[in-house]
Amino acid sequence: MADNKAGKFALGAVLAGVAGYVAGILTAPKEGAKTREELKDKAAVWQKDVEKELGDLRSNWRMSWTKPRETAIL
């Protein structure tokens, strides 16, 4: 139960950080094309990071799902 609350808090903190970052970028006094290019580059980096994290989570989930099944079969 505590892990679920911690996970929700962490997700909220990450989303708030991303929203703050985007708001800061969009209000910065840069040329629009530079800002859009920077956002595009950052989005590509974030996408790779998220894909890696999801892959790790999927792998961990599969391990936690198959481990009890293997134990039960033995």
Are both 71 and 42 inside the same structural domain?
yes
**Same domain as 36, residue 14:** no
Determine what percent of the chain is predicted with pLDDT higher than 90.
14
pTM: 0.44
The parent domain of residue 52 ranges over: 31-74
Same-domain pairing of 22 and 50: no
Most confident option among 7-11, 29-33, 50-54: 50-54
Q: DSSP assignment of the chain, as one string?
A: -HHHHHHHHHHHHHHHHHHHHHHHHHHSSS-HHHHHHHHHHHHHHHHHHHHHHHHHHHHHHHHHHHHHHHHHH-
Domain count within the chain: 2
Predicted pLDDT at 74: 55
Which has the higher per-residue pLDDT, 54 or 28?
A: 54
Q: Could you tell me if 38 and 70 lie in one domain?
A: yes
Same domain, 40 and 73: yes
**pLDDT, mean of residues 41-51:** 92
**Same domain for 39 and 74?**
yes
